[in-house]
Amino acid sequence: MRIRSPKRAPHRTRSEQRGRLAATAAAALALVLAVPPGAAHADAPSSITAGNPQHFINFNFGLPGDLTEYVYSIKVETPAATDDIYYAHYLFGKDSGTGYYSGLQPHPNGLAGVRFSFFGKGATPLNANCRSGADGGNGVTCGIDDLAYQVGRKYTIATKKTVDTAGVSYTGTIKDDTTGTVRTIGAWRVPADYAGFRDTANAFIEKFSGIKTCADIPAVKVSYTGVRADGKPVAFKPISHQATDKPGSGIYTCGDVSDYTVSAASTPGGYSVVSSGATG
């Protein structure tokens, strides 16, 4: 499976919109008048060609401190039949073009994949679950694909920093909050001159397979709780997004085709996302 990190904010340029059907002004007007509200038309998601993967929820948030420990719990309530969805957080590195992500990939067969990957030059895999390279570039990819999974069950993902004579390393774990079972996702050592992680992170939800057009973007429901950086709760802002018919580009081509809300918890440390899926 192919997964990518949101290393920069989405770019949405009009120059990359698909070409429209040739028609005279009179014919085009007649077509518009003939299409009832809500019906498919030239700007509907099904008319927007897109490749894998596609980020359809994507927003940044601030962190209260540099990364020594980062923890969050995730509970996915999207039906299990909705496959190939990646619910993830990406922490930006202070060095340009670097960072790491962790997250959950539920499947309908009762299992889930979990990822913990670093993007950037010079990192070293430290665990059997890891290999060199990330999304075809520099980095380290770590993951497991046999996590016992149930819809509506809470899982806690944690990243911890270790400093020793060998250098600076990070280990990712996932805990099943129902059974108490903790598994190591992976571990990697950053280069000796690595500057660490910034006070900014990105939350994204991605469909990483099964995309032919933006009509393939599904509805999802997920909540995050206990989000902490260096022991401090992370604050989130509410977002209300209304679908438009304008495509973006690349992995953000389908970023605007869904209505969705991000609801912040009453106290810092949590939020929930509800998305309608492709609209139109």
* Residue 71: Cβ within 10 Å count: 19
Residue 24 has pLDDT above 50, yes or no: no
Note whether 89 and 57 are within 8 A (CB). no
Say what the pTM is: 0.84
Note whether 224 and 72 are within 8 A (CB). yes
23-32, 111-120, 240-249, 265-274: range with lowest mean pLDDT: 23-32
Mean pLDDT of 247-263: 95
Mean pLDDT of 133-156: 96
Residue 179 has pLDDT above 70, yes or no: yes
Using alpha carbons, list the distances in angstroms from residue 162 to 69, 95, 190, 194, 234: 10, 19, 11, 14, 22
Mean pLDDT of 114-143: 96
Q: What is the pLDDT of residues 256-278, one digit of tens each?
A: 999 999 999 999 999 999 999 99
pLDDT at 40: 36
pLDDT mean across residues, the chain: 86
Mean pLDDT of 55-70: 92
Mean pLDDT of 250-254: 95
* Number of domains forming the structure of the chain: 1
Asked if residue 43 is part of any domain, the answer here is no
Residue 99 has pLDDT above 90, yes or no: yes
CATH number at residue 247: 2.60.120.1270
Residue 199 has pLDDT above 50, yes or no: yes
Helices (H), 213-262: none
Q: What is the pLDDT of residues 201-214, one digit of tens each?
A: 999 999 999 999 99
**Which strand ranges, in their side-by-side order, compose the sheet holding 54-62?**
54-62, 197-207, 85-93, 99-106, 111-119, 137-148, 130-134
User: Which tokens is 31 given?
Assistant: 């077509």
Asked if residue 214 is part of any domain, the answer here is yes
pLDDT at 43: 60
Residue 171 has pLDDT above 60, yes or no: yes
Residue 136 has pLDDT above 50, yes or no: yes
Using DSSP's 3-state secondary structure scheme, residue 8 falls into coil
Asked if residue 15 is part of any domain, the answer here is no
Place of tokens 């004579």: 165
Q: How far apart are CA 40 and CA 57, in angstroms?
A: 23
Residue 19 has pLDDT above 90, yes or no: no
Per the rule left: phi > 0, alpha: psi between -120 and 50, beta: everything else, 251 is alpha
pLDDT at 262: 98
- Beta strand 182-189 with 197-207 is unpaired
Mean pLDDT of 113-121: 97
Note whether 262 and 245 are within 8 A (CB). no
Asked if residue 199 is part of any domain, the answer here is yes
Asked if residue 138 is part of any domain, the answer here is yes
Asked if residue 11 is part of any domain, the answer here is no
User: Which tokens is 13 given?
Assistant: 């340029």
Q: What residue numbers bound the domain in which 174 lies?
A: 51-278
Using alpha carbons, list the distances in angstroms from residue 197 to 21, 105, 240, 247: 47, 24, 28, 31
Q: How far apart are CA 113 and CA 2, in angstroms?
A: 13
Asked if residue 35 is part of any domain, the answer here is no
Using DSSP's 3-state secondary structure scheme, residue 17 falls into coil
Asked if residue 175 is part of any domain, the answer here is yes
Query: Which tops the pLDDT comparison, 14 or 132?
Result: 132
